[in-house]
Amino acid sequence: MTTIAIVYHSGFGRTAAQAEAVLRGIQSVPDVTAHLIRVEDVEAHWATLDAADAIVFGSPTYMGSVSGPFKSFMDASSRRWLQQAWKDKIAAGFTNSGSLSGDKLNTLVQLAIFAAQHGMVWVGQAELPGGRADDAINRIGSMLGAAAQSDQGSSRPSDGDLATAEKFGARVAYAAQRWKRGAI
């Protein structure tokens, strides 16, 4: 059994909807167990993260970067860094923001560097951009990780962004399985 943890922050529920879509994608892959962890609850879940084969990081983009609560989680994880507790785990990341760009790329770069700090192995987003319609896959055109955009009056990202997140979750799950199977 391959185990994957998603650890995420969401101030207003929209990145939470994206995280749940990533979870659905992971759960669509046989023989994979997934855990959805809010950063607010992480103190009770460090052991779950330590035991996971893969960790998916998710944060809204606030002021062109990860949110404050997610950054606090990153800083708190430095105890894991010291022990290299997450070295060689699969890592991936997603973000959601109000604008189409909104400087989301910077958030994904932050997440990828964070994973590299931990010696993790980053898996990107592999769906080609399918156009600009609301139901289009990867309409944001993001390859480093899964990206979503939520309108101010909406409680969640577009259908296409959620479908993209689902495909992304499945990709991470298959990658984690292959990585685990090949471990020596």
Q: Which of residues 8-47 bind ligand FMN (CB under 6 A)?
A: 10-16
Q: How far apart are CA 133 and CA 29, in angstroms?
A: 27
Does position 60 bind ligand FMN by CB under 6 A? yes
Nearest to ligand FMN by Cβ — which residue? 102
Is residue 64 part of the contact set for ligand FMN (CB under 6 A)?
yes
Instruction: Region of 39 please: left (phi>0), alpha (psi -120 to 50) or beta.
Output: alpha
- Judge residue 93's burial from the number of C-beta atoms within 10 Å of its C-beta, 0-12 exposed, 13-18 middle, 19 or more buried: buried
- Alpha carbon distance 145, 59 (integer Å): 12
Q: Is residue 124 within the footprint of ligand FMN (CB under 6 A)?
A: no
Which residue bears the tokens 């958030």? 107
Residue 102 in the binding site for ligand FMN (CB under 6 A): yes
- Contact with ligand FMN (CB under 6 A) among 51, 99, 134, 135: 99
The answer to whether 97 contacts ligand FMN (rule: CB under 6 A) is yes
State the residues that interact with ligand FMN by CB under 6 A.
10-16, 60-64, 96-99, 102-103, 150
